[in-house]
Amino acid sequence: MHLFWIAAAASFVLSYAAKLLADSFLGDRVSIIGETAGLQYSRNPGIAFGVRLPAGWQELLIGVALLFVCWLAYRSRKTTLSSVGYGLIVGGALGNVVDRLIDGFVTDFFQIGTFPIFNVADSCITVGVVFLLADAVLLSRNASR
């Protein structure tokens, strides 16, 4: 349980601090690798990949999804990897929720190729999901031995 809270707090703080920095200092696109990768300020009113849902539905879906992940974390985290994975997902999700509550948008700023622009919170969520998948594979391998 301890690692869950550390991962959740760290991912929330890092994602929110990065959003504040992007809001304060990022104007024009900053190239890191030519046109392939850079920092590009973007305000995302939608959910994943900028998808917009009808008014009210988007907020409801985000709230239900966050509650579901918290419930799932409580019920099924059994290993260090799953505790950290769930913590990263919850902390990243909370970072995006708090960002959205302030001005109705999520601040995105990482641009890689033609992939939708994303942020630190999105990265934490993605890494958390990868950790959960890796944990499931490891548990499956151990169970088959």
pLDDT in tens, 116-129: 999 999 999 999 99
pLDDT of residue 96: 94
Residue 122 annotated to the active site: yes
pLDDT of residue 135: 94
User: Which sequence spans correspond to the domains of the chain?
Assistant: 2-136
Confidence tier at 48 by pLDDT (50, 70, 90): confident
Q: Amino acid letter at 97? A: V
- Cα 116 from Cα 105, distance rounded (Å): 15
- What is the side-by-side strand order in the sheet with 30-33? 30-33, 37-44, 106-112
- CA 44 from chain centre, in angstroms, equals 14
Catalytic residue among 23, 28, 108, 135: 108
Q: Amino acid letter at 120? A: V
Q: Mean pLDDT highest for which of 4-13, 40-49, 59-68, 97-106?
A: 4-13
pLDDT of residue 13: 98
Residue 113 has φ and ψ, to the nearest 5°, of 55, -135
- Cα 53 from Cα 143, distance rounded (Å): 41
Residue 25 pLDDT more than 90? yes
Catalytic residue among 99, 103, 122, 135: 122
Residue 103 annotated to the active site: no
- Rounded to two decimals, the pTM is 0.90
